[in-house]
A and B are shown apart, each in its own frame.
Chain A
Amino acid sequence: MRVIREYVIPRIITYVAVIFIGITVSFVLPRLTPLDPVILAINRFSEYGQYYDPESLELMIESMKELYGLKGSLLEQYVNFLRRAITGDFGPSLAYFPIPATDLVSRALPWTISLLSLSTIVSWLVGNFIGGVAGYFGGRRWAKALSVFATVVYPTPYYIMALLLMAVLTYVIPIFPTYGATSLDPAFTLEFIADYLYHATLPSLSLVVVGYGWWFLSMRNIVSHTKQEEYVEYGQIMGLPKRTILLKYVIRNSLLPQITGLSVALGGIFSGSMITEAVFSYPGLGYVLLTSVTNGDFNLMMAIVTYSIIAVSSATVLLDLLYPLIDPRIRYK
């Protein structure tokens, strides 16, 4: 019970605070800028050669203010905004009028979540395992070569990595599709799953490679400290096989900070997946964000920002709540 009082409840409070602050920030920031989204939208219409007489223009501005939630005093707007955020009503999308912005987001979300979880799990497992082994055998030549590879790929921005992979694997050696997520209708068949994986390989590869660099480097560092611990030395004196020491003594104990690291890194990984989707025209949130930016679709943008905040902080808190199951020190404190 102490775990719940000292570990679970504070985290849930923080979770609620993070969502609240995040939504407030995304409400305040756009209002600090001198630009008015309504005027921007009207300018866009007139650029297309539309002409309005003053009266209908006035009416249009009024109804657009209603749509954008820009009516009334700042406090009214804020309360309104919070209510809309909770009920998931962000008004219609401008680019795909009259489809509600929320519908577009919820259509895109499954693609993002599947791509993201697939690539995060793969890069975390592979990076930590190889990083752990390389850290344990620090002096070997292959371990050094692996470190050099990780040092080169880790600082590369996701966007650059995606571009490079695209250049190599779709133009130079054309083995992967350049865009899209499937060529079949979603169904639970072997064919569809194969097709899904075929399309997802390239977008997730750029996430996996960059992520691998980070998990490899941090794990190698942690392991190089862990292997000097006394319990590892006792294991060696006891004559345990190297494999047991490496897997059960060193890597297992070094994984704990990496789980915390994952919950801190989740926001960045999420941003990375949005970039990758935009590059590969993968129909997830990142691609929707790209269309909303090119169309000046303010409602859709706000919906994406709000849902991203909720999604990322929910994933973070879930990971934090799973942590006591993995780390006995917190369970038995």
Chain B
Amino acid sequence: MAALRRPLSRLAVFLTHGIGITISVIMVISILLLGFVVSNFAPFDPRRWNTAPKDQPPSTDKFIFGTTSIGQDVFWLLTYSIRNSIILGVVGSVVGLAIGGVLGLVAGYKGGMTEKIILTLGDTFIVLPGLPMLILLSTMVKKQLNMFLLGFIIAALTWGMPVRNVRSMVLSLREREFTHTAVFSGFNTLNIIASEYTPHILPWVAASFISRINMAIGMEVTLAIFGLSSLAEGTLGTMIYWALQYNAMLRGLWWWIFAPVGMVVFIVLGFYMLSGGVAEYLNPRTRLYRIATEETKEIESVDRSIE
């Protein structure tokens, strides 16, 4: 119990760091619960058609979010779609960040011609309009498309930005005083990266990991308008696609279209606020400030106990 107290109290400090963080953590936890816990309790496969009566409006007793014109329960389909969209987002985010991060590291450390080539390639992918290429690629692999493949495609088109960010971080860190100190004290490169650089890079990694999940989810939703997401799967994008195909908005079946659209807004907002909060919380500067205020608080409490 005592061993747990320290991380727990740190967690408590993080959660109460700002109202934005508290709200966003609650939002993200409820999203993850819906997607990865609640979705397992679906009484039937929510993707299958005609498992529920058609066009039922939301009601408190049976269909909380109503049903679709193809006989799906909107609530269970939604939980299932959240899971798929989050998986896709995480794959797209991690892979893109890994490719760009490694290339940025190499560019920063090697310099010279290698750096020039990597940077030009990376810049090309920043400038290139992603959507037409994404659509071209998804058309080609439409038959085999699944969440992982889609994640990889999104990563392949969006690795440009991290190259620049990581490279400039490497360049600035490598010239810092503490790097020289560490080198002279006999640390090897891996050790320096693990123990000295991680605290400086971590805020950026955490924040961009979360915000890139958002980007990937947004791209999948966008692909769906072109009918190019994997339509047999349940994702937030395909839910919107089918709702539009059946003119849900015109026919007054607002719950069908509103559920996935509202959920996309809820997810991107939650992740966006969390990414901003994490970046601010982990930033060494605000951290120093926080440590200072915590110490004064401790001193104050010690003073009080002496009195």
**Chain A contacts to B: CB under 8 angstroms:** 14, 17-18, 21-22, 25-26, 29-30, 33, 35, 151-152, 154-160, 163-164, 167, 171, 264, 266-268, 270-271, 274-275, 278-279, 289-290, 293-294, 296, 301-302, 304-305, 308-309, 312-313, 316
Given the known inter-chain contacts A33-B137, A293-B226, please indicate yes or no for A267 contacting B143, CB distance below 8 A. no
B137, B225, B271: which contacts A278 (Cβ < 8 A)? Answer: B225
Does B91 sit at the interface, judged by CB under 8 A? no
Additional A-B contacts beyond A18-B123, A278-B225 (7; CB < 8 A): A151-B269, A155-B271, A159-B221, A267-B127, A270-B131, A271-B132, A275-B222
B139-154, CB < 8 A from A: 139-141, 143
Interface of A, helix, strand, loop or mixed by DSSP: helix
One of B32-40, B46-54, B76-84, B260-268 at the interface: B260-268
- Residues in B whose Cβ lies below 8 Å from that of A33: 137, 140-141
With both chains docked as a complex, state the minimum distance between the C-beta of A115 and any C-beta of chain B, in angstroms.
Answer: 15
B126, B136, B139: which contacts A267 (Cβ < 8 A)? Answer: B126
| CB pair B137 A29 closer than 8 Å | yes
- Residues in B whose Cβ lies below 8 Å from that of A289: 132, 135, 226
Nearest 8 CB-CB pairings of A with B: A271-B131, A157-B218, A155-B272, A33-B140, A155-B268, A21-B124, A308-B129, A305-B132
| CB pair B139 A301 closer than 8 Å | yes
B124, B130, B135, B136: which contacts A268 (Cβ < 8 A)? Answer: B130
| CB pair A312 B127 closer than 8 Å | yes
A156, A163, A167, A271: which contacts B129 (Cβ < 8 A)? Answer: A271
With both chains docked as a complex, state the minimum distance between the C-beta of B238 and any C-beta of chain A, in angstroms.
Answer: 13
CA of A17 to CA of B214, assembled, Å:
30
- Residues in B whose Cβ lies below 8 Å from that of A156: 264-265, 268-269
Given the known inter-chain contacts A35-B141, A312-B128, please indicate yes or no for A167 contacting B249, CB distance below 8 A. yes
Does B133 sit at the interface, judged by CB under 8 A? yes
With both chains docked as a complex, state the minimum distance between the C-beta of B172 and any C-beta of chain A, in angstroms.
Answer: 17
| CB pair A316 B222 closer than 8 Å | no
Select the residue from B217, B222, B269 with max chain A CB neighbours within 10 A: B222
- Residues in B whose Cβ lies below 8 Å from that of A18: 120, 123-124, 127-128
B89-131, CB < 8 A from A: 120-121, 123-124, 126-131
Does B240 sit at the interface, judged by CB under 8 A? yes
With both chains docked as a complex, state the minimum distance between the C-beta of A138 and any C-beta of chain B, in angstroms.
Answer: 15
With both chains docked as a complex, state the minimum distance between the C-beta of A37 and any C-beta of chain B, in angstroms.
Answer: 8
| CB pair A29 B133 closer than 8 Å | yes
| CB pair B227 A275 closer than 8 Å | no
- Residues in A whose Cβ lies below 8 Å from that of B228: 293
| CB pair B132 A35 closer than 8 Å | no
Q: How many residues of B contact A (CB 8 A)?
A: 42
Does B273 sit at the interface, judged by CB under 8 A? yes
- Residues in B whose Cβ lies below 8 Å from that of A293: 135, 139, 226-228
CA of A156 to CA of B236, assembled, Å:
14
Provide 12 A-B residue pairs closer than 8 Å at the C-beta atoms, listed in order of the A residue: A17-B124, A25-B124, A29-B140, A30-B137, A157-B218, A270-B131, A279-B225, A289-B226, A290-B225, A301-B132, A302-B136, A316-B127
A29, A159, A271, A279: which contacts B130 (Cβ < 8 A)? Answer: A271
B136, B218, B265, B268: which contacts A26 (Cβ < 8 A)? Answer: B136
CA of A294 to CA of B139, assembled, Å:
10
- Residues in B whose Cβ lies below 8 Å from that of A312: 127-129
Given the known inter-chain contacts A18-B124, A290-B226, A293-B139, please indicate yes or no for A155 contacting B129, CB distance below 8 A. no
**Which B residue's beta carbon lies closest to that of A159?**
B222
A151, A268, A316: which contacts B273 (Cβ < 8 A)? Answer: A151
With both chains docked as a complex, state the minimum distance between the C-beta of B127 and any C-beta of chain A, in angstroms.
Answer: 5
B120, B127, B130, B240: which contacts A163 (Cβ < 8 A)? Answer: B240
- Residues in B whose Cβ lies below 8 Å from that of A158: 218, 222
CA of A268 to CA of B307, assembled, Å:
61
Given the known inter-chain contacts A156-B265, A158-B222, please indicate yes or no for A308 contacting B127, CB distance below 8 A. no
CA of A303 to CA of B268, assembled, Å:
33
| CB pair B265 A160 closer than 8 Å | yes
With both chains docked as a complex, state the minimum distance between the C-beta of A221 and any C-beta of chain B, in angstroms.
Answer: 10
- Residues in A whose Cβ lies below 8 Å from that of B268: 155-157
CA of A113 to CA of B126, assembled, Å:
20
With both chains docked as a complex, state the minimum distance between the C-beta of B59 and any C-beta of chain A, in angstroms.
Answer: 23
- Residues in B whose Cβ lies below 8 Å from that of A160: 218, 221, 261, 264-265
**Which A residue's beta carbon lies closest to that of B131?**
A271
| CB pair B272 A264 closer than 8 Å | no
CA of A160 to CA of B268, assembled, Å:
11
With both chains docked as a complex, state the minimum distance between the C-beta of B298 and any C-beta of chain A, in angstroms.
Answer: 29
| CB pair B136 A301 closer than 8 Å | yes
CA of A159 to CA of B226, assembled, Å:
11
A22, A270, A274: which contacts B124 (Cβ < 8 A)? Answer: A22
